[in-house]
Amino acid sequence: MSNNAGRVAIVSGGSGGIGRASAERLGADGFSVVVHYAGGKDRAEETATAVARAGGRATVAGADVADEAAMAAVFDAADREFGGVDVVVHTAGIMPLAPVAQLDLETLDRILRTNVRGTFVVDQLAAQRVRDGGAIINFSTSVTRLQIPGYGAYAASKGAVEALTLILARELRGRDITVNAIAPGPTATPLFFEGKSQQAIDQIAALNPMGRLGTPEDITEAVAFLAGPARWVNGQVLYVNGGAA
The C-alpha atoms of residue 8 and residue 126 are separated, in whole angstroms, by 12
**Residue 218 burial (C-beta neighbours within 10 Å; 0-12, 13-18, 19+):** buried
CA angle 151–216–16, rounded 5-degree value = 85
- 24 CB contacts (<8 Å, ≥6 apart)? 47, 50, 51, 54, 220
How far are the Cα atoms of 72, 139, 208 from residue 128, in angstroms, in the given order? Answer: 10, 19, 39
User: Could you give phi then psi for residue 240, rounded to 5 degrees?
Assistant: -120, 90
The dihedral region occupied by 35, where left means phi > 0, alpha psi between -120 and 50, and beta the remainder, is beta
One-letter amino acid at 44 equals A
Provide the 3-class DSSP secondary structure of residue 53.
helix
154 is catalytic: yes
**Which of the following is catalytic: 37, 151, 154, 239?**
154
From the centroid of its chain, how far is CA 224? Answer: 12
**Among candidate residues 66, 83, 22, the one with its CA nearest the CA of residue 216:** 22
Q: Which of 18, 8, 5 lies closest to 219 in space, CA to CA?
A: 18
Write out the catalytic residue numbers: 154
